[in-house]
Structure 1
Amino acid sequence: MKKDLRFERLRKELEGDLYTDTTQRILYATDASAYREVPVAVTRPKCTGDIKKIIAYARNEGLSVIPRGAGTSLAGQVVGPGIIMDVSRYMNRILEFNGEEHWIKVEPGVVLGDMNKYLAPFHLQFGPETSTANRCCMGGMLGNNSCGLHSLLHGSVRDHIIELEAILSDGSEATFREMTSDEFHDKCEGDPGLLETKIYSNLREILSDPLNADQIRREFPHPLLKRRNNGYALDVLLETDPFTGNGKKINICRLLAGSEGTLSFTTSMKLNLVEIPEQKTGLVCAHFSSLQDAVRANIIALKHKPAAIELIDDYILNCTKDNIEQNKNRFFVKGEPKIVLLIEILRDTIEEIDATASALESELRGAGFGYHFPLYTGSEEISKVWELRKAGLGVLLNIAGRKKSVQVIEDTAVLPDLFPEYIFDFERILDKYGLSCAYYAHIATGELHLSPLLDLKDPNDIRIFHSLAGDVAHLVKKYRGSLSGEHGDGRLRGEFIPLMLGQHNYELLKQVKHVWDPHNIFNPGKITDTPSITDNLRYPTEKRKRIPGTTFHFPEEEGLLYAVEKCSGSGDCRKSSLMGGTMCPTFMATKDEDKSTRARANILREYLTRSEKKNRFDHDEIYRVMDLCLSCKACKSECPSNVDVAKFKAEFLQHYYDSHRVPWRTLLIAYLPRLSLIGIRVRLITNMVTDSSLFKRIVGFSVRRRVPSLSKTTLSGWHRRRKEQDKEIRDLKGTVCLFADEFTEFNESDIGIRTIM
């Protein structure tokens, strides 16, 4: 009780929101990873002052804070037992923009896609573009050091962060930016009582030590590898003027990129922008019969200076066949290719694109690689192909059976020239475990997303999950690659950082963490002191639960529960109205997590797997989250996993009403056509009653909602009276069928009449 009172006092001090109820805590217990930890509270700060108060509260109470944007992280970065700070709801403003100097200053909750929409009229964009661009937040991109499809051209967030403002663990504010050596040393010699001074001084001490420098250069991933996100970027800071005399200014922002919110809490960031290419675009969709042919073809394709090369395999292509949205984007696929490489070409003219594509095809065919090389230059066609590629993770959850595509070794990166040998060794590891694997990749920059098929409810597969991760970590180390190319370490890969970077360097990372955050407030258990990757997995491993007696047919192997678990948490349902599409209208209107498709799947899964009640649907928490679902079915078509929440809601309500009486509101809507048939006989009285506040309160409607009034006549009645005239029209014009639903029949018959007239 005392703890609740303390939270109550904090709630009153905040301008934003604070929740400690079970529902909100469950909804923020997962992200797009395989992990689940229920936080002690959820906050949605509105300003820097709120963030300071929450950090101070956490420090005083011995709690932690976990920064969160859209919650699309794949490695469990935003899962934890502390206080969630969701910046996506309020801290999502564009603060300043300078088109001439090509920079923009934003709060961490700004969505990448929305920001690029804002920049488009100025012919500018933020370079790194992730597949989650329509919902991911800039704070999350900074925390993960995200890359994207065009990292060959634009690199990662680390390459574009100019300056950031942050709250340190003691509540003080700091601004990090590019500095000369003299400015850096001045910072190191500042007030020794300031945490900021200690941070700079510690970095100088670590990176000035020749032994440390040697170990960093020896053990960190290869410096030519563009995608490398293991640990803190000490290797990047080392190669600057204060430590090498190379004239390159130091910027601590580059250390914070990829730090996963474990060192400070970012309140704003100043970002470099790039011009939108005015060149023409072509996309070659090269088909291959084997993975080895494709990875060797990638090396050849790189010589032709492409803007991007992406790899998708037959697992993904086959999954798109049954996906309503992505099936329309398969027009470029011929036959049953094992692999397709999407090779984007930017040139000044279409003729140059044609020439490059022709030369590329000729060289690949000459080397014996590939059998079909269609070229597309239309923007609509190219956009559809990229949409299919971006849907890769989601559609993989449509694979039938208990074993599903699992994120565990999905973020490895090695130099592209080493890919053929690396893939050969990797397939030997898969053979060792008898596993199948889906491949999709940013192959131009050495990033390979490998998704083995495992059942994380099966204790044996969980053991494989762990040992497979260890085997692949050793393999990546052999090729001096990075276990994380863009998705970050999080809960998933932190355990293997001592192996990947060496124990000496790992101790340096722990030292950095301790100096920045001595009380372990910021997102503990990520990067350093990470628990085992098998701790706190999303699914219980006890006896499997099947939901008996469902009203609808769920053909999946484990019925309704399996269908619900197809939601990966990728957050496609969190896109804004600016991004197009329909899913999810209630989230678009409110920006609240509990109004999203993902939330409805999460709350249903939680109680179906963990409820102790005989009727596991009998929970008001599920009812409240499901209540605002409009049953529009947008999720069934737009969700890459085809999650059908409208069907789930109908199934849930049937079971819920088995334990509770059906509300008057529901009965009224269900029998509306019959009631309207009676009410229209005394239309004026009916309209007066249904429009009254008393009626709305009794039935359960909001008093602010307008109940549709009954029309003067029904559509069918009007049509019968005009039967002869309608016959003449039918004879002259042919037959038109008009479906008259109950609203057109009783409430808006004038629309139907005008349509017929």
Structure 2
Amino acid sequence: MKWFFKPDRGNEALLRDLTRLVSGKVLGDEISRIVYSASPCSYSVKPLVIVQPKEKMDVVKVVKYAASRGIGITPRGSGTSPTGNSVGEGILLDFGPLMNQILEFEPEEEAVWVQPGLLLSTLNRFLRPHGFFFPIDPGSGEYCTLGGMIANNASGFHSPKYGATGDFVCDLEVVLSNGEVIPTGPLSLRGREMRELIGAQTLEGEIYRVLPDLLKRYNRALKSERPLVSINSAGYDLWRIKKGRFIDLTPLFVGSEGTLGIITEAKLRLTPLPGKSFYVLVFLDDLDQVSPAVEGLLALSAGMVKILERSILDFSKRLQRRFEPHLLEGTEALLVVEFEGSKAAEIEEGLSRLLQRLGTRFDPWIARDDGEEASFEKVKNIPLQLAGEWKGPKFLVTLLEAEAVHPGKLSAYLKGLRSIFEQERIEAIIDGNGGDGTLHVRVPLDRAREDDVKRMRSLTDACYDLILALKGTITLRHGDGRF
């Protein structure tokens, strides 16, 4: 056999076996392994071999082969996760190159069947002429795959209106750890199909035999420990499996990051394209105003409520003079708000009443033409621009990104974070998504210095204690990864 790149000697047998097994592509050269060892996270993990499956049976064969030899498998989409769940030591399954098709479009049902390697942006370009779109909009939306979004239960800045990926997943086709292929969807606990599954000597049958009793046994703990947040991707979603007399494994696999099974097909619910958006900047002069302001805006049906805390506003004014007209002196938090398909007059009236109740001394800034909408976009993207233009002896290190509290506890969350960083005498840049209570926190640290690494750990522990005390979640989006 001739190799374009020479494989490592230690994995030649593995490469030959997998090349004979699958119809897709198998990579094991050092260059490919180095490329696939990376993602936008703090980890670098080199896989033994990379398989790019071409069809479902490729996945089944790889799973059975790996199970018989005790080799781990890591499914991967575009590798955009910042938590390290798209890198792994064993066999890495890359769905992007070959399993990336739209299988069936059902406009009457407002649904579509897709393969896991399909890009979100590709799907939405296909749907736009038909008047539909898949509304979840993570920051990596141009290049993330739908399989990765499902595995992480991804969400975006429009989560107040649309929720998370799991809210739009109808059914799945999944390969289990022994190579069994199963469909998911609601099944009646008293139906014939359920009785047949429970009686079958299969892994699927074992799941359905065990799960109802498991949910009943831990019912009290599940109720008391459920995070008080609108979206949660920490652990497994055991809360939504059983609905009345029906049980559905779909929520269990959504957000499970490939640990329970590997998704090979998904049926997704779509939504009609929204109308023209209405954009507003809301300036708050007290952190105590943040929670009631966010909840009030959500009550007005805001599709996006982005938070820029004072720290990021101060840094922005120092770095970029062009932002100054939109960053008023004395602002403790700026809310960047979008209303999709809304009537401007009704929103302005509701906004006026809300700000009067809050007692903020600033008037809102409303984008009334294309030029002002362009200015709004610049302000909205301040965090991205700041990260690219940061200059200093230390790099900005992400301390918090996927953690969240209930929007009603954002004021307490922000004040608690400020207290932590003031005690540690460190500057922190804070922004986030007010709609789902997520805050992104970055601090200047040098990860090559042991004292800064220790400091990062102690800061993270203090932040997590605060989040859990507010009954929040340490994983709202992006997945648990290698935490």
TM-score (norm 2): 0.89
Change in CA separation of 1:316 and 1:474 when aligned onto 2, cut-off 3 Å: closer
Q: What is the RMSD computed on CA atoms of the aligned residues?
A: 2.8
Amino acid at match of 2:426: L
Deviations 1:287-323 (A, max 9, x none): 3456554455323333433222111346656777899
The answer to whether 1:449 aligns with 2:450 is: no
**Aligned equivalent of 1:646:** none
**Matched-pair contact (CA < 8 Å) for 2:307–2:333:** yes
Amino acid at match of 2:326: V
Task: Determine which structure has more spread, i.e. the larger CA radius of gyration.
Answer: 1
Deviations 1:157-177 (A, max 9, x none): 111111111111111111111
Which residue, 175, 199, 203 being the options, matches 2:211? 203
**Aligned equivalent of 2:5:** none
**Aligned equivalent of 1:753:** none
Amino acid at match of 1:342: V
**Aligned equivalent of 1:721:** none
SS of structure 2 residue aligned to 1:97: strand
Change in CA separation of 1:97 and 1:461 when aligned onto 2, cut-off 3 Å: same
**Matched-pair contact (CA < 8 Å) for 1:74–1:407:** no
Which residue, 294, 299, 308 being the options, matches 2:295? 299
Deviation at 1:368, TM superposition (A): 3.4
The answer to whether 1:181 aligns with 2:189 is: yes
Structural mapping, 1:142-221, within 5 Å: 142-183=150-191, 185-186=194-195, 189-191=198-200, 193-209=201-217, 212-221=218-227
Change in CA separation of 1:331 and 1:136 when aligned onto 2, cut-off 3 Å: farther
Which residue, 443, 449, 455 being the options, matches 1:464? 455
**Aligned equivalent of 2:259:** 262
**Aligned equivalent of 1:342:** 336
Alpha-carbon distance between aligned partners in 2 of 1:459 and 1:2, rounded to the nearest angstrom: 34
Alpha-carbon distance between aligned partners in 2 of 1:481 and 1:107, rounded to the nearest angstrom: 33
**Matched-pair contact (CA < 8 Å) for 2:113–2:267:** yes
Which residue, 399, 406, 415 being the options, matches 2:397? 406
Name the count of aligned residue pairs.
473
**Aligned equivalent of 2:306:** 310
The answer to whether 1:116 aligns with 2:127 is: no
**Aligned equivalent of 1:76:** 84
**Aligned equivalent of 1:584:** none
Amino acid at match of 2:338: E
SS of structure 2 residue aligned to 1:412: coil
Change in CA separation of 1:2 and 1:365 when aligned onto 2, cut-off 3 Å: closer
**Matched-pair contact (CA < 8 Å) for 2:285–2:333:** yes
Change in CA separation of 1:200 and 1:395 when aligned onto 2, cut-off 3 Å: farther
Alpha-carbon distance between aligned partners in 1 of 2:144 and 2:312, rounded to the nearest angstrom: 22
SS of structure 1 residue aligned to 2:186: strand
Which residue, 214, 218, 239 being the options, matches 1:235? 239
Deviations 1:81-110 (A, max 9, x none): 112111111111000001111000000011
The runs of 5 or more residues in structure 2 that have no matched partner are 1-8
SS of structure 2 residue aligned to 1:226: coil
**Matched-pair contact (CA < 8 Å) for 2:326–2:379:** no
**Aligned equivalent of 2:13:** 5
The runs of 5 or more residues in structure 1 that have no matched partner are 243-248, 493-757
Structural mapping, 1:591-630, within 5 Å: none
Change in CA separation of 1:470 and 1:289 when aligned onto 2, cut-off 3 Å: same
**Matched-pair contact (CA < 8 Å) for 2:278–2:338:** yes
Of 411-420 and 158-167, more deviation after overlay is shown by 411-420
Alpha-carbon distance between aligned partners in 2 of 1:100 and 1:384, rounded to the nearest angstrom: 39
SS of structure 1 residue aligned to 2:39: coil
Structural mapping, 1:656-675, within 5 Å: none
Which residue, 295, 320, 326 being the options, matches 1:333? 326
Alpha-carbon distance between aligned partners in 2 of 1:122 and 1:332, rounded to the nearest angstrom: 40
Alpha-carbon distance between aligned partners in 2 of 1:159 and 1:88, rounded to the nearest angstrom: 23
Deviation at 1:286, TM superposition (A): 2.1
**Aligned equivalent of 1:282:** 278
Amino acid at match of 1:228: N
Alpha-carbon distance between aligned partners in 2 of 1:432 and 1:187, rounded to the nearest angstrom: 61
**Aligned equivalent of 1:701:** none
Alpha-carbon distance between aligned partners in 1 of 2:247 and 2:478, rounded to the nearest angstrom: 25
The answer to whether 1:422 aligns with 2:443 is: no
**Aligned equivalent of 1:128:** 136
Amino acid at match of 2:464: A
**Aligned equivalent of 1:396:** 387
Deviation at 1:35, TM superposition (A): 1.3
SS of structure 1 residue aligned to 2:240: helix
Alpha-carbon distance between aligned partners in 2 of 1:88 and 1:342, rounded to the nearest angstrom: 34
Deviation at 1:112, TM superposition (A): 0.9
**Matched-pair contact (CA < 8 Å) for 1:439–1:448:** yes
Alpha-carbon distance between aligned partners in 2 of 1:114 and 1:322, rounded to the nearest angstrom: 38
**Aligned equivalent of 1:95:** 103
Deviations 1:222-259 (A, max 9, x none): 2xx21111100112225x214xxxxxx43211111110
SS of structure 1 residue aligned to 2:126: helix
**Aligned equivalent of 1:662:** none
Alpha-carbon distance between aligned partners in 2 of 1:382 and 1:169, rounded to the nearest angstrom: 50
Change in CA separation of 1:187 and 1:423 when aligned onto 2, cut-off 3 Å: farther
- Aligned identity (percent) is 26
Deviation at 1:346, TM superposition (A): 3.7
The answer to whether 1:56 aligns with 2:47 is: no
Change in CA separation of 1:281 and 1:477 when aligned onto 2, cut-off 3 Å: same
**Aligned equivalent of 2:430:** 439
Which residue, 247, 250, 274 being the options, matches 1:250? 247
Deviation at 1:181, TM superposition (A): 2.6
Alpha-carbon distance between aligned partners in 1 of 2:328 and 2:348, rounded to the nearest angstrom: 21
TM-score (norm 1): 0.58
Alpha-carbon distance between aligned partners in 1 of 2:286 and 2:396, rounded to the nearest angstrom: 20
Deviation at 1:270, TM superposition (A): 0.2
Deviation at 1:370, TM superposition (A): 5.7
**Matched-pair contact (CA < 8 Å) for 1:29–1:79:** yes
The answer to whether 1:15 aligns with 2:15 is: no
Alpha-carbon distance between aligned partners in 2 of 1:118 and 1:322, rounded to the nearest angstrom: 42
Change in CA separation of 1:391 and 1:58 when aligned onto 2, cut-off 3 Å: farther
Deviation at 1:429, TM superposition (A): 2.0
Amino acid at match of 1:250: I
**Aligned equivalent of 1:666:** none
SS of structure 2 residue aligned to 1:50: helix
Q: Higher helix fraction: Structure 1 or Structure 2?
A: 1
Alpha-carbon distance between aligned partners in 1 of 2:317 and 2:413, rounded to the nearest angstrom: 30
Amino acid at match of 2:244: D
Alpha-carbon distance between aligned partners in 2 of 1:180 and 1:402, rounded to the nearest angstrom: 61
Alpha-carbon distance between aligned partners in 2 of 1:370 and 1:443, rounded to the nearest angstrom: 21
Alpha-carbon distance between aligned partners in 2 of 1:90 and 1:399, rounded to the nearest angstrom: 38
SS of structure 2 residue aligned to 1:260: coil
Deviations 1:180-221 (A, max 9, x none): 232474265231x20111112221220122xx1001111121
Deviation at 1:10, TM superposition (A): 1.6
**Aligned equivalent of 1:483:** 474
Alpha-carbon distance between aligned partners in 1 of 2:241 and 2:300, rounded to the nearest angstrom: 32
Change in CA separation of 1:331 and 1:90 when aligned onto 2, cut-off 3 Å: farther
Alpha-carbon distance between aligned partners in 2 of 1:344 and 1:332, rounded to the nearest angstrom: 20
Alpha-carbon distance between aligned partners in 1 of 2:199 and 2:296, rounded to the nearest angstrom: 53
Which residue, 346, 364, 369 being the options, matches 1:373? 364
SS of structure 2 residue aligned to 1:8: helix
SS of structure 1 residue aligned to 2:308: strand
Change in CA separation of 1:391 and 1:65 when aligned onto 2, cut-off 3 Å: farther
